[in-house]
Structure 1
Amino acid sequence: MTENNERGLIVRGAKRLRHTVGGQYLFDSAAWALALVLAAVFRYEFAFENVNWLPLVLLAIVTALLQFVFGRVFQLYRGRYRIGTFHEVRALAFTVGAVAVILAPITLILGTKLLIPRSTVLVAVPIALVLMGFARYMRRLRRENRAKPSDAQRTLVYGAGDLANFLLPQMLTDPNSKYLPVGLVDDSPARSNLWLHGVPMMGTRADLTDIANRTGATTLIVTIARADAALIQATKKAADDAGLRMLMLPLLSQVLEGRSGLTDLREVSIEDLIGRHPVDTEVESIAGYLTGKRVLVTGAGGSIGSVLCREISKFAPAELMMLDRDESGLQATQIAISGHGLLDTKDVVLADIRDAPTIEKIFDDRKPEVVFHAAALKHLPMLEQFPSEAWQTNVLGTLNVLNAARAVGVSTFINVSTDKAANPSSVLGHSKRAAEKLTAWAAEETGKNYLSVRFGNVIGSRGSMLPTFTSLILAGGPLTITHPDVTRFFMTIPEACQLVVQAGGIGRPGEVLILDMGEPVRILDVAKQMIAMSGRDIKIVFTGLRHGEKLHEELLGEGEQDSRPLHPKISHTKVPPLDPAQLDKAEWERRCSPTPPTTHMALT
């Protein structure tokens, strides 16, 4: 666009503004004049011959001048407000009120001398307000009717709360909107007669099929901000039965991070169906221990580590050091946080936690004050085949990081663990249990905040169940499940990372923190839902529980107490410390030797 074109657009915009504002003022002046005339006529009971027109005309002129002055004071004639909005009506009321405050006492005291009824202004005020407000309402209604999308899908909106109140105007006033709201659906009896922006309440979710038939709707948009999995599942089933395509608003966290807007509707995902009401960990209130500190994250290139780094960066650490042996993973994390993947800055550290001398040198050179230890091997069947790898990374690697942290005086150390460490039955579980106990030992030795965080399957993490199922479905199947009754706990990646960050603020030395993840989810149900959503005919094959795998995971081990002193959804428990001098690889391998899948083994 050239400079002349830009100047032309500005000039035309200014002319339109002056025309609109000028038109509003002229109408408001005319409304005052008509209101004053009506007030005088009412006073004389329609005896027009008794009306003194000249004083009335002079009063109308004075009123118009005062309307202009106070209209400018309250920004009414400066193009600040959209036509017919609450803020414009409020400014209008203030303006009319100010005019009345000036003129009403004058007419009350001097009305007889001025040859006009003393009550003229007082009676005229409500008449003028109604006329001005009605005109604005009609202009707004006309504009909205002209802006309504002409070729859009007839849509029902489920949930008539604040989100719907925000979303409906966007849908009704955007000519390019793909969705035209034709009815509201809500299960609250208090909203049974509600209308929002001209859209009527049609019934509850149980009436969805009938409502869809009556309105001809083809789409259902869910505008319930914190809908849990049970609600989403029930709504999805009702929408499917009614032949409606179901859409949802993005997560609030995505909106706040600028990754999407409130009008960016999306299809229902499997994460929605198996997720749950997110636990508010109130992380902002206790993460001050990160501000201005040197923070190091191991495993920073992984699914958990990368999001953990993004979460930590929000709290303005003095330095964030991201350590991993996966250079591609580090690059992806750097891109997400810094907007570049140059890999030539000090924030990325390429190293393996199994290399003790290198880890010690990094800690000695960089002097971290807070450490988040997320580096680990995590695939259960792989570690069953190669238990020595679990020993070297999850056990000795953790010990290497702990020793380096102790040597430089790290004040806070958070070890990322797993629910498989509770009553472990697998190599993975035993290795992570040992890491928890080593962390408790370091806490005992230093007296500092060294602790662990334990959680279940993380939805969408690299190599986890959902991406694996998706790949199998795209490949045409079959979809393999170990057992028809197997269940697992699930949590989202942001939720897991917020818990890890919060642990450093509320955990005490040697503790293990566990998030209440609700009820476990049956994997077969997830598989069936994913197949249904794909629209493909995919077979399900049961392969049997793998060695070391449990039918049902546990969050607390035998003898562990479920204490919740600070947050109703976060448990605090203790594990016995394990002195590294007592580490015995042969004994560890004996405990990890083949056993029935459902047998619990505790590493003492």
Structure 2
Amino acid sequence: MAVADASAWFVSVLLALFLRYEFDAWRIEWLSTVLLAVVMAGFFVLVGLMLGIYLGKYAYGSLDEVRTVTLAALLTSVVFSVFLLLTGFQAEIPRSLALLAFPLAVVIMFGLRFLYRLSIDRARLPAGAATPALVVGAGQAGEITVRTIMNDPDSPLRAVGLIDDDITKRRLRLHGVPVLGTSDDIEQVAKQTRAKVLVVAISNVSPEFLGELTDAGNAAGLRVLKTPTVQRLMEGPIGVQDLRSVSIEDLIGRTSVDTNVEEIAGFITGKKVLVTGAGGSIGSELCVQLAKFGPTELIMLDRDETSLQEAQIRLQGNGLLDGEDIVLADIRETELMRQVFASHQPEVVFHAAALKHLPMLEKYPEEAWKTNVLGTRNVVQAAMASGVETFVNISTDKAANPTSALGHSKRVAEKITAWAAKETGRPYLSVRFGNVIGSRGSMLPTFERLIENGGPVTVTHPEVTRYFMTIPEACQLVIQAGGIGRAGEVLILDMGEPIKILDIAKRMIAISGKDIEIVYTGLREGEKLHEELVGANEDLERPFHQQISHATVGSLSPENMDLQVWLDRMEHEKGAVIR
């Protein structure tokens, strides 16, 4: 490149003189001109070395390289213009020669770089056997994606067109790939280009729009892929292997609520924290997030030894199960809970242990009573006896206007927690949210297994809806509750609009590419058509966060609990609220 730049300057000086004398070669003093051209070319290369142009300091073809080459050329032109002006070097050489050579040299140098870059890019183009792909999004994420695909000779994909709804980009080309239409034209453009893949390259694409693009891609017979998150794009170069299939979590997930958890999690730092149900989906993720805030000790309690081992592997990188912070215990055991709390003396407790499968608990309501009611009572009383400062009970939307054994049992657990708050005056509170995407035993993993087995996929009712949130988001809400919740309150996250289960089933089947039948089984005993987050007579306020509501529930003393009374009352008040 140094030789090419030097040659560019040499030619530019000669060409500038030709232009100056209107191509009259007889008027040119060749010896002086050639000498000046050689010296200027050498001077430019020297400046280029000093600025790092030929030392790999700048990415090839980058804006930084262009800026530096222009600066070096301008410096060369100014220095020799002053030299000619002051010395009058050979009267036959015009004093404006260096200024005339400057734009010519810049154009030639940039032209050589362009040709070189073009040859490199052509050599890097994916092989003709690569699968043709359409890229949705002609913004920054789209540009990175197209560049990644087109600069990898081993890429399994070959970008053949761009899709963008911005009409100002209709004539745009990124790395030679043109914008061919909008999202409404996907099927037509796919036929035109014979594309087989649709790559969604939009930063922070909404689940709704991603769903529309997925449906359009599936209708056009395209496999739909998605680029990594914005955070991953900012970390450094990505490869084609970073593209992944669109998951159902992408399609039904919401834009995460900013819970500002880092700002209010100080109540965890330097404290002993205990998590019940630590082996579950919520409990294990909760432990991972709590560990970030520096508790002096994080005690994980569960009755399932295998789940505890999995949680320890995820959090500590080993599954030895030999630490004092791993506790195998059942919350149904009253005296054992007292011993655990007396031994470890936790200061903050997150109570995630519970039975949660509605149809199973409808069949065995006594089990819901033993775990969700008596178990919560045991944990709460042990916490009170050992002086726990903050207690967060994880509840469910089914506790609002309960119609099932699960809902009624969790409602009573909320009331027990409120009673403890009344007795201690401390922030003993509950957190209520809807279905958690991907949690163990939840709807999505069940649908996935049914589809893998060839179906049918069972849906209770074509109109049934549910609220959804991600596991990390649920855990952030739980942690924030301990920081902003007040004694006896129930905190409720604004979960947006409920989603039809039938729509989720259809999309999961479409993503799988299989022909799976959907069978309606009818609502099960105690199951609602539409879940609720707020119970009757619950007054809401939002004193701290615009998307987190605070409500109060009545308290219930553990001394006033009786299984048969609860069963009779639950049967009597099916469809009503236990007040």
TM-score, structure 1 normalization? 0.87
Task: Write the mapping of 1:582-601 to structure 2, written as runs, cut at 5 A.
Answer: 582-593=560-571, 599=575, 601=576
Cα deviation 1:302-344 (Å, max 9, x = unaligned): 1111222222233343332222111111111222222222222
Q: Determine the structure 2 residue equivalent to 1:423.
A: 401
- Asked whether the equivalents of residues 83 and 139 of structure 1 are also in contact (C-alpha less than 8 Å), the reply is no
Do the aligned residues in 1 keep the contact of 2:148 with 2:239 (CA within 8 Å)? no
Which 5+ residue runs of structure 1 have no aligned equivalent? 1-23
**Does structure 2 retain, via aligned residues, the 8 Å contact 1:194–1:201?**
yes
Q: CA offset at residue 589 of structure 1?
A: 2.4
Task: Say which is worse superposed, 341-350 or 163-172, in terms of deviation.
Answer: 341-350
Aligned to 2:108: 131
The answer to whether 1:145 aligns with 2:122 is yes
1:74 aligns with 2:42: no
Per-residue CA distance 1:96-145 (angstroms, 9 max, x = gap) = 34444544444444456776433333333333222222222221221111
Q: Report the Cα offset of residue 411 of structure 1.
A: 3.6
- Please give the alpha-carbon distance, in whole angstroms, between the structure 2 residues aligned to 1:418 and 1:253: 32
Q: Does 1:406 align with 2:406?
A: no
Partner of 1:312: 290
- Establish whether residue 28 from structure 1 lines up as the match of residue 11 from structure 2: no
1:119 aligns with 2:101: no
Match for 2:528 among 550, 555, 575?
550
Matching residue of 1:5: none
Q: Which residue of 1 aligns with 2:367?
A: 389
Aligned ranges 1:46-445 → 2 under 5 Å: 46-100=23-77, 102-111=79-88, 116-150=93-127, 151-251=129-229, 263-445=241-423
In structure 2, the CA distance between the partners of 1:230 and 1:64, relative to structure 1 (3 Å rule), is same
Give yes or no for contact 2:437–2:469 (8 Å, CA) kept in 1: yes
Call closer, same or farther: CA 1:137–1:448 in 2, change over 3 Å. farther
Deviations, residues 432-464 of structure 1 (Å, cap 9, x unaligned):
122223333333444444332211111211111
Label 1:138 to 1:558 Cα distance change in 2 as closer, same or farther (>3 A): same
Distance 2:356 2:517 in 1: 27
Secondary structure class of the residue paired with 2:395: strand
Cα distance in 2 for partners of 1:386, 1:410 equals 32
Structure 1: distance between partners of 2:2 and 2:293: 50
Give the AA of the match of 1:130. Answer: V
Identity %: 54
Q: Secondary structure at the match of 1:81?
A: coil
- Aligned residue pairs: how many? 577
Helix, strand or coil: the match of 2:571? coil
SS in structure 2 at match of 1:551:
coil
Partner deviation per Cα, 1:457-512 (whole Å, 9 max, x = no partner):
11211111122223333344443332232211112222222222333344344332
Distance 1:43 1:458, change over 3 A: same
Q: Distance in 2 between matches of 1:135 and 1:74?
A: 19
Conserved 8 A contact 1:290-1:315: yes
Give the AA of the match of 1:313.
A
2:14 aligned to 4, 14, 37, which one?
37
CA distance in 2, matches of 1:68, 1:346: 68
The whole-number CA distance in structure 2 between the counterparts of 1:254 and 1:38 is: 49
For residues 234 and 304 of structure 2, the distance between their equivalents in structure 1, rounded to whole angstroms, comes to 30
The whole-number CA distance in structure 2 between the counterparts of 1:101 and 1:566 is 63
Deviates more, 1:393-402 or 1:297-306: 393-402
User: Using a 3 Å threshold, how does the CA distance of structure 1 residues 113 and 204 change in structure 2: closer, same or farther?
Assistant: same
Q: 1:27-60 CA distances to partner (integer Å, 9 max, x unpaired)? A: 1222222233333333334344444445544444
Q: For the residues of structure 2 that align with 1:405 and 1:115, how far apart are their CA atoms?
A: 99
- Alpha carbons of 1:31 and 1:516: their partners in 2 closer, same or farther (altered >3 Å)? same
CA contact (8 A) 1:548 1:594 kept: no
> Are the counterparts in 1 of residues 32 and 90 from structure 2 also a CA contact under 8 Å?
no
User: What is the CA–CA distance in structure 1 between the aligned matches of 2:153 and 2:214, rounded to whole Å?
Assistant: 28
User: Which deviations, in whole Å up to 9, do the C-alpha atoms of 1:47-104 show, x marking residues without a partner?
Assistant: 4444444554444444344434433343222223332122322332343344445444
CA contact (8 A) 1:250 1:261 kept: no
Change beyond 3 A, Cα 1:439–1:250: farther
Matched-pair contact (CA < 8 Å) for 2:78–2:99: no
Indicate the residue corresponding to 1:602 in structure 2: 577
* SS in structure 2 of the partner of residue 247 of structure 1: strand
Change (3 A) 1:148 1:593: same
Structure 2 letter corresponding to 1:603: I
Once residues 427 and 534 of structure 1 are traced to their aligned partners in structure 2, the CA distance between those partners, rounded to angstroms, is: 35
